[in-house]
Amino acid sequence: MKRTARMTFQRQERWFEAHRRSIELDEVMYEPFWRVEDVRSSGIKTKIAHFSTPNRVMHLLSQNELWMYLSLVQMRYVVEIYEQFAIPLEFSVPIAKQLGVKHPVYVGSKQVPIVQTIDFVSTLIDGSRIAHPVKQESDSLRERTVEKLAIQQAYCELEHIDYQLVTESE
């Protein structure tokens, strides 16, 4: 479990590199940055089969993520879905600074920034990508959540990924 160990830059970098390799190398099965067993939650977390890759399990951290995943798999133009998609710290830290917001750090650590993740990044049949952060509508209005979503949106703009926030009402 990632959350139980004392956090260091090196440990987090190893996780990120495994995640990134799984995206870049066809012979490596996708590894989400966060898995259901890594995250404390009072809500419903789910592991569910990937819609097209045998033996691949999707790690969904809320009931809203499950509903969004089930919606995405029905879209004929979606050819791949990456859940818990990590934003490299070399992007998110400068973005946070430019936006004038505090980059999230691990609890008990004033210096180890948390790798930010986007709930879903999908690849479409034309090769374009779309990001879908999934939030409760009430949470999406909180100041701190707005700041974190702004980091995600700015990253998507830099990487030419369409960005569409999804709430439970949608």
**Length of the chain as a residue count:** 170
Closest CA to 53 of 27, 87, 24: 27
- Which pTM was predicted? 0.89
E strands along 78-161, which residues? 78-86, 117-124, 129-132, 134-135
- Helix ranges (DSSP H) in 29-83: 63-73
Kind of pairing between the strands at 46-49 and 57-60 = antiparallel
The two three-digit tokens of residue 18, written as one number: 């495994």
Residue whose token pair is 């439970």: 168
Per-residue pLDDT of the chain (170 residues), as tens digits, is 454 456 777 788 888 888 888 888 888 899 999 888 888 776 789 999 999 999 999 999 999 999 999 999 999 999 999 999 999 999 999 999 999 999 998 877 768 899 999 999 999 999 999 999 999 888 778 898 999 999 999 999 999 999 999 988 77
